[in-house]
């Protein structure tokens, strides 16, 4: 086998391994909280949502949850796969703009993460629960209270 063919075969193998690693089922998330001194981008407020015509109680509750548990959401994947379609880096990204107001998955995950953090679950435990699909137990018809 010529040197060019060997290098080509190695290059193709490396590209295939990289592509396979990037195409996993787990969406993007951060394994650790934000670095000390680094501010997360702000979550849209209820007033900002209302200005844009968003008044749905589930959406408002999800944005409130995202604001109250921002560091936790920063460490969660979003299973609507907006990391692929919109470049989001975690569940927190969904609530920095209007995306979270139009996505049931985002809202359920945010409300689940908030509820579980209030129960003392760690970000890792919440992430494991989200990966198991436990967030689907959150009803958007009667969203939980977010204080």
11, part of any domain: no
Which pLDDT does position 25 carry in this prediction?
87
pLDDT at 79 over 80: yes
**Residue 1 above 80 pLDDT?**
no
**Domain total of the chain:** 1
State the average pLDDT for the chain. Answer: 87
- pLDDT above 70: percentage of residues in the chain: 84
Say what the pLDDT of residue 4 is. Answer: 56
Name which of 7-11, 110-114, 139-143 the model is least confident about: 7-11
Q: Is residue 10 situated within a structural domain? A: no
Cα–Cα distance measured from residue 137 to residue 145, given in angstroms and rounded to the nearest whole number: 15
Residue 102 inside a domain? The answer is yes
Distance CA 86, CA 92 (A): 13
- Structural domain contains residue 18: no
CB 103 within 8 A of CB 82: yes
Examine the pLDDT at 116 and tell me if it is beyond 90.
Answer: yes
H/E element holding 65?
Answer: helix 57-68
pLDDT at 93 over 80: yes
Domain-located, residue 4:
no
- Which of the four pLDDT bands, split at 50, 70 and 90, describes residue 24? low
Q: Specify if 15 maps to a domain.
A: no
Q: Is residue 6 part of a domain?
A: no
Structural domain span for residue 54: 26-137
51 in any annotated domain: yes
Give the Å distances, CA to CA, from 120 to 32, 67, 72, 80, 145: 17, 17, 12, 26, 17
């Amino acid at each position: 086998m010529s040197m060019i063919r060997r290098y080509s075969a190695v290059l193709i193998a490396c590209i295939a391994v990289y592509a396979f690693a990037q195409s996993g089922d787990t969406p993007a998330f951060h394994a650790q909280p934000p670095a000390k001194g680094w501010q997360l981008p702000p979550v849209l407020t209820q007033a900002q949502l209302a200005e844009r015509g968003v008044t749905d109680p589930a959406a408002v509750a999800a944005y409130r949850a995202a604001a109250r548990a921002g560091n936790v959401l920063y460490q969660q994947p979003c299973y609507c796969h907006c990391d692929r379609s919109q470049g989001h880096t975690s569940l927190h990204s969904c609530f920095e703009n209007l995306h979270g107001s139009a996505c049931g998955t985002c809202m359920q995950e945010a409300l689940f993460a908030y509820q579980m953090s209030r129960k003392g679950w760690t970000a890792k435990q919440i992430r494991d629960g989200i990966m198991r699909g436990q967030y689907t137990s959150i009803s958007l018809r009667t969203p939980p209270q977010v204080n």
